[in-house]
Structure 1
Amino acid sequence: MKTMPGWIYCGLLVVGVSGCSLAPKYNVPPAAESPAFKETLSPAEAGTWQTAVPAEDAARGEWWKVFKDSQLDDLENQALAANQNLAAAAARVQEARAIEGVTGAARFPNLSAGFGPSRQQNSPDSLGVPAGGPRPEAQTVWRAQANISYEVDLFGRVASSVHAAHADTQQSEALFRSVQLALQADVAQNYFNLRELDAELAVYHRAVELRTEALTFVQHRADAGEVSDLELAQAKAELASATSDAMTVERQRAASEHALAVLLGKAPSEFSVAPRPLDPVVIHIPPGMPSSLLERRPDIAAAERAMAAENARIGIARAAYFPSIVLTGTGGYESSAFSDLFKWSSRSFLLGPLVGTAATLPIFDGGVRKGNLANAKARYEENVAKYRQQVLVAFQEVEDNLANLRILENQTRVQGDEVAASSRAAELSKVQYEDGSVAYLNVIDTERVVLQARLTAVRLRGIQATSTVNLIRALGGGWGEDPANASPATD
């Protein structure tokens, strides 16, 4: 049995000890802890809440179906299929994966092959010919060779680079999910805003109808000489005011419809939504909803992956202080005549590590390595701060929307009482005016109160709908659902 050459043993030994990373051991740094949300329904539920930690792989599902609106379902699907911001985010994921592939290629040998002639002239001194001796003739050398090179990752530069690139890819994927969630929420909010404007238009159209009837009544009385021209002018002014306000809402609705079209990846001229007033959206928060749903937030996952990438880059900066070794080898055929090139006697090789090895040890660089290491550590600390801030913002957004929904539930009920009372007052005022008991100014004032009360009630419905969407978005795209039992999400 033939024995293995000693240089191969050396190479295997060097490769065997390679890959020791100099990056600090990575652990997710502690962030703000919250054993319970402030806006929980009762103190007894506080123990059912959990602290939030990143979990970017949690399934989210089609959360908008909780609203049970088939048109909204269709719009969400259209947006996911055609939105250009989402397409750009998907392309960024592909870019990150490609870069990770390029970085990972450094873990393997680099192979290449070449073929062709070269013309060379050696100097007499390089061949040991004494001065005045015959000058060697120029010669043509044909070569057909394969080349191999491999960087021995003794101090983990390549491994740290691969870890950083992989974390960058995961960050890009989390950011894609963040764009996706933002798109889904924006579509739902724009849709509910459109429906709210439809409801406002319905209120204004009803006001226009009532004021048209009032103007007709006042006109008859004016023709009969029972009222002054002042009351007639006031009735006309109220009708014109309501009509103008309705036109303002129509402008807002057109702009909202155009914005929704862009979210769907369509030109505004190709998209329209039939008017339909907003129905009340009342989705109660399930008792004991755990704050572990914050794990669904892709922006927290992205911030955590950014920390991991910067931690790996500290290892790259540290590895620059140590030698780098690149093993090279060349083998093939070499001949002065093309006809003899592929003869067995024309074979040649050049192997490392004793020959063809480049081992470099940095000695002095004016502080470049020191600066790069300090920069890597500072970037890591920056991303730690960003991660902790993102967790704080997540808790704030959940608290805000929990408070909004809790207060809105009572406020809409109170506002409903105001609408009922003001409507009754307007009816009484109208009857008294027709009987001649009060001036027309009283009718105008009560009708204005009714109009404002109804508009406020409609707008509260819109705020309630958008706050519900905001809460779901703050929880990372789902709630009232066990992540462990959810179906896998697909990007």
Structure 2
Amino acid sequence: MNFDNTNAHGAQALLGKLVRPARISSALLAALLVLAGCSVAPTYERPAVDTPAAFKEAAAPQTGENGSQWKAAQPAEDIARGEWWKIFNDDSLNALEDRAQQANQDLKAAAARLGQARALTRDARSGYFPQVDAGIGATRQRTSPASQGLPADANTSPTTLYRAQVGVSYEVDLFGRVSSTVDAATADAQRSEALFHSVLLALQADVAQQYFQLRELDAALELYRGTVELRSQSLKLVQRRFDEGDISEVDVARAKSELASAQSEALGIARSRATAEHALAVLLGQTPAEFNFAPRPLTRLSLNVPAGLPSALLERRPDIAAAERSMAAANARVGVAKSAFFPSLNLTGGFGYESAQLGDLFNWSSRTFLLGPLVGTALSMPLFDGGRRQAGVDRARASYEEQVATYRGTVLNAFREVEDNLANLRILGDQTKAQDDAVQASARAAKLSHVQYREGSVSFFNVIDADRTVLQQQRAAVQLDGERARSTVNLIRALGGGWGNAQATTQVSSAE
């Protein structure tokens, strides 16, 4: 009886020794699973920026719809930009914008960059799942006599071992290293998407500006063609009077000089027009030889583009959205760097077959498995690295601060661009009115000079000077009309483009 009790106590003690490590392992595993939901990444918050209540150069604060063609909305960044150029009611411009969005190479490159960023996001997300691989192979080995406990001069035979196995590896995301990496990759992809919108908006604005530049040059050419015709008629008049002996040859020479000068200036404008037409062809994804733009003189535009509220600019500008996503990515990378201070757990395993004979490889008796790493340890804890991990954290934090400064600088630059273009349009409106008065006055003076010259009361020099003044004032008026059209486009671009029901021809999904 005593013997039986002794055996029972011994068995219980032995069982306790066996169960205790299992309990410790279970507790350790449970603790690690709890830690798997922890993340050391800092909480991301968009930094505050100083936003004025209204634009200084705006005529009046815009708080909503004002009945114009332009929609002063406050959309989110992920809403597709509308076809804002249609407010100009120009079918030719609409067609050019559609062609550019289909064939422009810079836009295609931006779409490819977006596709790369999305692929990197999918690559980062693969860290959430186990990695499984399979392999088959053979090893030929000859062991040493010493490893077998044999004399040094003993003969050992080489052996061949065939293996076929499936391996599994998985990193437990204890302190958010994997999730922070995914967050950073996701923010980078969103940044690339915002940059794609920025390239798209820049392309749309460049096409519109180049289009109005061409039309301005066409208007200037039309003006100079009229001037050349008038000066040709003046030369005929002067030549007839010279032939009749009424005037000297000096007036003829001056008339010829003015006619040649107008012809030369017209050729210079034609040269500028050819260059502008070639630039527009490249924006459309065509060679200059394949593209011809029919002459179409510019007429004066009268559009009212409300600036909206400055706070809405933070949501509308794609470059601001890109800078903000860069901050988010940098913040997530701080978490990746900080996770290096904490333990990492890598679970590995393998199952397969191994046999000394190839024919016996897939027999049930040849099965084998391995749990845990083949070399090293599953759970590793950093102890000392000479400050390498701390340097990584410091670098990540400094990168985040850099992105914060870049974001705030981008916002300030956006406010400046809006104010610049608002001031341009406001002052250009007053300047155009003054220029119209100058054109009318110079035309009246030129008409009187011609009458006085025919009556012989003034010299031909007065006529030349008056005609030259009219041409200068008319040329300045055409330039102001072109500048006003381009400033309108620049203001729309500075505001981040337009939003509406119409979707852009080129969709972001095409990057996939």
Fold similarity call, TM over 0.5: yes
Contact preservation (8 Å) 1:143, 1:333: yes
Aligned pairs for 1:462-473 within 5 A:
462-473=482-493
User: What residue is the counterpart of 1:420 in the other structure?
Assistant: 440
C-alpha separation between the residues in 2 aligned to 1:74 and 1:53?
28
Distance 1:286 1:476, change over 3 A: closer
Change (3 A) 1:329 1:256: same
- Gaps spanning 5+ residues in structure 1: where? none
Given that 1:294 and 1:476 are in contact with CA atoms closer than 8 Å, whether structure 2 keeps it comes out as: no
Does 2:45 align with 1:27? yes
2:335, 2:455 → 1: CA distance?
90
1:72 and 2:88 aligned: no
- Cα pair 1:196 1:462 within 8 Å, conserved: yes
Contact 1:54–1:300, Cα closer than 8 Å, also in 2 = no
For structure 1, which segment, 18-27 or 208-217, has the greater mean C-alpha deviation from structure 2 after superposition? 18-27
Say whether 1:259 aligns with 2:261. no
2:310–2:415 contact (8 Å) kept in structure 1: no
Determine whether 1:235 maps to 2:255.
yes
The answer for the alignment partner of 1:334 in structure 2 is 354
* Residue 473 of structure 2 is aligned to residue 453 of structure 1: yes
Tell me the secondary structure at the aligned position of residue 190 of structure 2: helix
CA distance in 1, matches of 2:398, 2:74: 23
Distance 2:102 2:75 in 1: 27
Deviation at 1:58, TM superposition (A): 2.8
CA displacement 1:374-426 (0-9 Å, x = unmatched): 11111111110010010011111111111111121222122111111111110
Contact (CA 8 Å) 2:418, 2:491: kept in 1 or not? yes
The answer to whether the Cα contact below 8 Å between 1:120 and 1:138 also exists between their aligned partners in 2 is yes
Q: Does 1:409 align with 2:429?
A: yes
- Cα RMSD of the aligned pairs, angstroms, is 2.6
Number of aligned residue pairs? 478
Identity between Structure 1 and Structure 2 (%): 56
Answering whether residue 418 of structure 2 is matched by residue 398 of structure 1, we say yes
In the alignment, what sits opposite 1:17?
35
Higher alpha-carbon deviation: 306-315 or 403-412 = 403-412
Alpha-carbon contact 1:317-1:373 (below 8 Å) kept: yes
- Equivalent runs, 1:60-459 vs 2, <5 Å: 60-123=81-144, 126=147, 129=149, 137-286=157-306, 291-352=311-372, 357-459=377-479
Write the distance in 2 (CA, Å) between the matches of 1:126 and 1:97: 53
Aligned with 1:227: secondary structure?
Answer: coil
User: Contact (CA 8 Å) 2:103, 2:284: kept in 1 or not?
Assistant: yes
More off after superposition, 252-261 vs 156-165:
156-165
Q: CA deviation at 1:60?
A: 1.5
Aligned-partner residue type, residue 38 of structure 2: C
Is the alpha carbon distance of 1:277 and 1:132 closer, same or farther for their aligned partners in structure 2, counting shifts above 3 Å? closer
| In 1, Cα distance between equivalents of 2:362 and 2:375 | 24
What SS does structure 2 have at the residue aligned with 1:144? strand
- Aligned partner of 2:16 in structure 1 is none
SS where residue 245 of structure 2 aligns? coil
Q: Closer, same or farther in 2 for the Cα pair 1:275/1:213, shift >3 Å?
A: same
Q: Deviations over 1:282-307 (max 9, x none)?
A: 10134866751552211001100111
Cα distance in 2 for residues equivalent to 1:360 and 1:392: 47
CA contact (8 A) 2:100 2:283 kept: yes
**Structure 1 76/487 Cα, relative in aligned 2: closer, same or farther at 3 Å?**
closer
In structure 2, the CA distance between the partners of 1:16 and 1:353, relative to structure 1 (3 Å rule), is: farther
Give a deviation string over 1:448-487, Cα, whole Å, max 9, x none: 1100110011000000000000011001112xxxx5x645
Q: 24-33 or 256-265, which moves further after superposition?
A: 24-33
SS in 1 for 2:40: coil
